[in-house]
Structure 1
Amino acid sequence: MLAVCGGLLATGCATMPDSGEVQVVRGAGAGDSQVRVYAVAPRENAVPDEIVDGFLEAMTSDDPGFATARKYLTRQAAESWKPEQSITVLATAPDREPADRNADPENQGRAYPISGRKVATVDARHAYQPNRPVEYAQAIHVVQEAAANGKDKEWRIDSLPPGLVLGEADFLRNYRSVNKYYFASGEDWLVADPVYIRQRQDPVTRMDPVTQTVKALLEGPTHWLRPAVDSPFPTGTGLKHGVTSLTTDDQSTLKVPLDVKADRFGGEVCRRLAAQLLVTLGDLPSVQVDQVELQDVENNVVCRLGKGQAAEFEAVRETGREETPYFLDEAGRMKALATSGKEAVRPAEVPGPLGKGTVPLGAVAVARGETRAAGVSKDGAALYVSSITTEQEPLPPVLKSAAAPSAASEDRLSQPSWDGRGDLWVADRAPGHRRLFVVPDGTGKRIEVRTPWLTEDTRVESLRVSADGVRIALLITRDGRTTLQIGRIERQDGTDEQVVSVVDLQAAAPRMESVSAVSWAGPSRLVVVGREAGGVQQIRYLQTDGSTSATLVLPGLNGVNAVAAPHKETEPVVAASGNDGIVRLMPGANWQPVVKSGTVPVYPG
């Protein structure tokens, strides 16, 4: 199919669906992932307005090397422009304002203000960084340059913003989120590291999505995650020179040629790298990889690894059983839900003190193995740990709040959370004594977590630790506003005990004015309940890097005060609503009531 530009657009790009009639439009609509934009070179004697508009359109295309976009630039600017160095994401396509003809009277150039609302940036390592929408103001400067014939002059851009500048719809049409995987420091399980790659061939590297993903993995973790993870392969390891396409054979085996000698990455190093690749490529819908074969610089096979072998390195391993959600009834007793069937089943009483209501509970968390649980008393004063598979006598609390006896429950212990290591996390919100604690194995000596950001004017409303134990989602109230922050968990062996820190907090939902509930929903995804400024409450999926899509908003539900999501997408999301009690959301369905009265639904974690 040929790209055709009619009289409606003298320069710029034709936006073309993969099928149907050719249409000339401005940019792409949200969710138009199948729309292709083809760059069109500037016409002869194009006026400055056309040059600027054409270049802004050409930046949204898949043109190899952005060769056509460079035709709008002066020869010097075309050589120095590096579209791969960064992406500035605006809420909508950049607005081009009329030129200020007096900005450059000496050179008779013209400066065109470019504006919009910046919502995110993507760096050279493909890491997405969101921000609260802020005003974006840059300029594109055009001058007259001698044409190729040496006689005439043509308007061309000699100064422009760095990298690419795209509206969010064009960004989501051209790029997709992919999880790279690295090993948690000193451990044998993998941690997701989300990045953005091109949906199709990358214009700069000419690599297809599979090859882009492998290259991104070999480049190493994003700057934020790097201090908490390990990469087993030697420094400088990369794809063999000239490789731009990787495809599987008829056995679904992906052969990956590397530019290093076999003696530098053999044995266990090769095996772990192959596991990283297999789990990473499992996130790409365009390819089915059942086995990875790594080759050295001379194309010799160094190792092979299959999906089944790679599964042992995942933070949450497949057990074959369904994940069970739990909740608290009106008496503060822990109950188990059976929610995966077509009809809701009566909740089951949980064995042990937490199910008996020996101490009425206000919050609960279930260990990943589903054999133990932790409960916070209804008054928030004490944290208990107990078996939920066998009967046992009540045990003394593993931790008590430092709050005064007269303190309100919200000024005491938060809801707890278990990480995949079996350690238990909880925040004490006592005024003057606000702390974050981790209890090794849920029974050991508590460790006060180093939290340089937890000042007296900062309050942890709730927390959820990822299964890999490397990241923690925090709802933090400061200056009357509750926001969602993702912190990095770092562990070091101290003289007497392990030193644990939560550092480098990153906003994960900056466009939301307030966030009221959060749950992990897989390796790098969260379910978030919150509202944007002036908007109504929403329940939506977010990546841990803060990126999102309009298609990831869940059906509306009023008065949600808690939400719990499974690790696997095949299980239902469960929520607590002040109006409807405990409700579930099966894949492809709408919310359904499960229990008329109940609070704090949770999945293991």
Structure 2
Amino acid sequence: MRVRFARRVAVLVALLLSVSACASIPESSDPKAVKAVDESNATTPVTPPPSGTDPLALVRSFVDSAAAPESNHEAARLHLTLPERLDWGPPPGLLIVDNVDTIPAPQPVPLPEGVQIVGLQADKVGRLLPDSSFVPEVGEYQTQVRVERQADGQWRIATPPPELVASKGSFSTVYRPVPIYFLDHDSTGVVPDLRYVVSQPASTLPRRVIDLLTSGPSEGLRSSMHTAIPGGVHPKTNTTEARDGALEVNLTSLGNVPRETRRLIAAQVVFTLQSVSSARVRLKEEGAPLLPDAQDLRPTDLVPYESDNLARPDLPGLAVVDERLVVLDRNAQPIPGPAGSGEYDVVRAGQSPDGSQIAAVTRRPGGVVLRVGRYGAHLPELPTVGAYMSKPTWRGKSEVWTVVDGHDVVRALDTGNSWVPRQVDAHELTGGRSITDLRLSRDGTRVAAVVDGQIVVAGVSDQDGRVVLTRPIALASTQGVRITGVEWLENESLVAITDSNTTPVFEVSVDGFRWVPYTAANLGQPLNAVTVASGARVIVADRSGLWESRDTDDVWSLLQVPIRGGSIPFFPG
């Protein structure tokens, strides 16, 4: 009884606080400690379900309103009976579902007058975790909800689902994806960690994303991404717009950190804010400029930290054609050296991000072998052999990876005099299953792999001289297609080819929340390769040639290069 009373008091207090929440936010950035913005205490007006809503529609409406956190989920709470409304406290996190349906649930005994049991069923999409990251989840969701007619004749829910369940459509309306920027594997560039935040009120978005930034990477990427922001550092004042239009971010004391670390912090803050504000950023520490020589910053002032993980636009790309490497341009000339002359029987290949190195899988008696060396020069053989190897993929310019015989992930390291292969701990990723394709993100923090026809994304963690693939997440397609190849489109998204004639290519968000099909026009199965050029131009190869698309709605156009079908194009990385 005491617990129930305490819950009711907590709900009433939360509702009272929500009325005065906005008045407590200062308009200027006075040096006063502030609390984190609580999205559940926004003051957006909410209305009860329409009068006369029947039990089945009421439960569907409850699921549609559950994503909105305003005033402690008041929109969903208004669907409940009064006693349950006061007691209801949804747990942290959110289950997102699609194809929601409600049906009268059969009962073995008659129900009292004014009571109905509604069966709720839907397809699981995934979960929004307490750290605002999304993880996909598959399967059917089923539960039963008790609905009772109230004294005023309105139906209300007496026993809601045991967890907070929201429809995908309502979630997409209420929340927006925001990349929060951390540091890559060698702490030289920034890389996004995709989170989901409530889109309204827009005025508090900058503060909310800065709170996520200072809290560190999401749980699944904490061993793969880094941050330059020291632990315990948080906004000292509200992130607000100054009178001259600049967005002020005032952090607590950083301690004794060097200038380069301060610039990395500035890059994290500025790139994080660019998706929620176009204003220049005025970054401070305890009210003083963080960088005395650069008071106001825009993303263009910190380009080197982002371009460190971008494709080289001046390199044309290469292709494997008739077991030799050719330049992917209008002349399609072979590259210099034995990889272009036909001396090696090249099966697959990859070029380092700076274009200086080539890794090639070449034929040998009984299988294939990995060769790595300078572009245009002799490529020495490594003691990495097998019956099959995936297309090489690079982590910086001195580390190249491949998958041997579907299960052994090998990385070759440049020691200065030779390339030395090392094993990658990939047992979490494989789970005894076969890997047919594996691609490193340009920032080196994650891999995307094709494992038994599914995309699986995992973090790359450096642990005491070992490299481990951690926290693998399967990105299941709701269309039921089999994935045959994958490539990084951008740091936040992938492009995948499938065995389907109707949906041969997809753009997929890195967390699997969004699957957007490209048009199938002009493409023919099977697609044997996918790659991405600078400017996010997607190129796929089928039997008739190489096809290019710049957007999911574009019709595929034939790439104007004299290269026939069956070739394997690739760009640096």
TM-score interval, normalised by the smaller of the two chains: 0.7 to 0.9
Verify the 8 A CA contact 1:278 1:292 in the aligned structure 2. no
Confirm or deny that 1:337 pairs with 2:312: no
Verify the 8 A CA contact 2:545 2:558 in the aligned structure 1. no
SS of the residue corresponding to residue 483 of structure 2 reads strand
> What amino acid is aligned across from residue 278 of structure 2 in structure 1?
Q
CA apart distance, 1:71: 2.3
Residue of 336, 344, 357 corresponding to 1:359: 344
Residue 20 of structure 2: aligned partner: none
> What amino acid is aligned across from residue 459 of structure 1 in structure 2?
S
Residue of 426, 434, 437 corresponding to 2:410: 437
Distance 1:186 1:517 in 2: 27
Residue of 500, 522, 526 corresponding to 2:490: 522
Distance 1:527 1:348, change over 3 A: same
Distance 1:395 1:51 in 2: 68
Residue 124 of structure 2: aligned partner: 118
Verify the 8 A CA contact 1:473 1:484 in the aligned structure 2. yes
SS of the residue corresponding to residue 263 of structure 2 reads helix
Give runs of aligned pairs for residues 201-280 of structure 1, distance below 5 A.
Answer: 201=201, 208-240=204-236, 243=238, 246-247=240-241, 253-258=246-251, 260-261=252-253, 263=255, 269-280=261-272
Distance 2:91 2:531 in 1: 38
Distance 1:426 1:582 in 2: 24
Residue 585 of structure 1: aligned partner: 549
TM-score by length of 2: 0.79
TM-score by length of 1: 0.75
Confirm or deny that 1:422 pairs with 2:398: yes
Residue 141 of structure 1: aligned partner: 146
CA apart distance, 1:162: 5.2
SS of the residue corresponding to residue 170 of structure 2 reads helix
Distance 1:266 1:161 in 2: 51
Verify the 8 A CA contact 2:233 2:253 in the aligned structure 1. no
CA apart distance, 1:455: 6.8
Residue 88 of structure 1: aligned partner: 95
Alignment deviations for residues 117-160 of structure 1 (CA, whole Å, 9 cap, x no partner): 1122211212111233x111123334577x8xxxx796543432
> What amino acid is aligned across from residue 313 of structure 1 in structure 2?
Y
Residue 511 of structure 2: aligned partner: 545
CA apart distance, 1:276: 0.9
SS of the residue corresponding to residue 346 of structure 1 reads coil
CA apart distance, 1:257: 3.3
SS of the residue corresponding to residue 347 of structure 1 reads coil
> What amino acid is aligned across from residue 426 of structure 1 in structure 2?
T
Residue of 369, 377, 398 corresponding to 1:382: 369
Alignment deviations for residues 196-250 of structure 1 (CA, whole Å, 9 cap, x no partner): 2233338xxxx64433322322232111101122223243444457x4x744775
Residue 465 of structure 1: aligned partner: 440
> What amino acid is aligned across from residue 266 of structure 2 in structure 1?
A
Verify the 8 A CA contact 2:373 2:380 in the aligned structure 1. no
Distance 2:149 2:355 in 1: 70
Distance 1:161 1:459, change over 3 A: same
> What amino acid is aligned across from residue 516 of structure 1 in structure 2?
T
Distance 1:69 1:56 in 2: 8
SS of the residue corresponding to residue 302 of structure 2 reads helix
CA apart distance, 1:423: 0.4
Distance 2:120 2:532 in 1: 41
Residue 562 of structure 1: aligned partner: 529
Give runs of aligned pairs for residues 146-161 of structure 1, distance below 5 A.
Answer: 155-161=155-161
CA apart distance, 1:444: 2.8
Q: Which moved more, 1:502-511 or 1:136-145?
A: 136-145
For the aligned residue pairs, the C-alpha RMSD in angstroms reads: 3.5
Distance 1:63 1:413, change over 3 A: closer
SS of the residue corresponding to residue 247 of structure 2 reads strand
Give runs of aligned pairs for residues 492-503 of structure 1, distance below 5 A.
Answer: 492-493=463-464, 498-503=465-470
CA apart distance, 1:292: 4.3
Residue 16 of structure 1: aligned partner: none
Verify the 8 A CA contact 2:68 2:75 in the aligned structure 1. no
Alignment deviations for residues 488-541 of structure 1 (CA, whole Å, 9 cap, x no partner): 222133xxxx31222332112443441111111111211101257xx7342111
Residue of 427, 430, 434 corresponding to 1:452: 427
Distance 1:229 1:54, change over 3 A: closer
Distance 1:51 1:157 in 2: 8
Residue of 284, 295, 319 corresponding to 1:294: 284
Distance 1:95 1:423, change over 3 A: same
> What amino acid is aligned across from residue 489 of structure 2 in structure 1?
A
Distance 1:211 1:162, change over 3 A: farther
Identify, as 1 or 2, the structure richer in helix: 2
> What amino acid is aligned across from residue 422 of structure 2 in structure 1?
I
Distance 1:335 1:76, change over 3 A: farther
Distance 1:519 1:195, change over 3 A: same
> What amino acid is aligned across from residue 512 of structure 2 in structure 1?
G
Distance 1:566 1:581, change over 3 A: same
Distance 1:583 1:455, change over 3 A: closer
Distance 2:181 2:147 in 1: 44
* Unaligned segments of structure 2, at least 5 residues: 1-43
> What amino acid is aligned across from residue 119 of structure 2 in structure 1?
P
Distance 1:121 1:453 in 2: 21
CA apart distance, 1:73: 2.4
SS of the residue corresponding to residue 446 of structure 1 reads strand
Distance 2:157 2:431 in 1: 52
* Unaligned segments of structure 1, at least 5 residues: 1-36, 339-344, 404-410
Give runs of aligned pairs for residues 60-79 of structure 1, distance below 5 A.
Answer: 65-75=72-82, 77-79=84-86
Distance 1:456 1:165, change over 3 A: closer
Q: How many pairs were matched up?
A: 515
Distance 1:40 1:81 in 2: 18
Residue 15 of structure 2: aligned partner: none
> What amino acid is aligned across from residue 317 of structure 2 in structure 1?
P
Distance 1:60 1:503 in 2: 30
> What amino acid is aligned across from residue 322 of structure 1 in structure 2?
D
SS of the residue corresponding to residue 380 of structure 2 reads coil
CA apart distance, 1:82: 5.3
SS of the residue corresponding to residue 224 of structure 1 reads helix
Give runs of aligned pairs for residues 43-62 of structure 1, distance below 5 A.
Answer: 48=55, 51-59=58-66
Verify the 8 A CA contact 1:39 1:61 in the aligned structure 2. no
> What amino acid is aligned across from residue 257 of structure 1 in structure 2?
N
Distance 1:112 1:291, change over 3 A: same
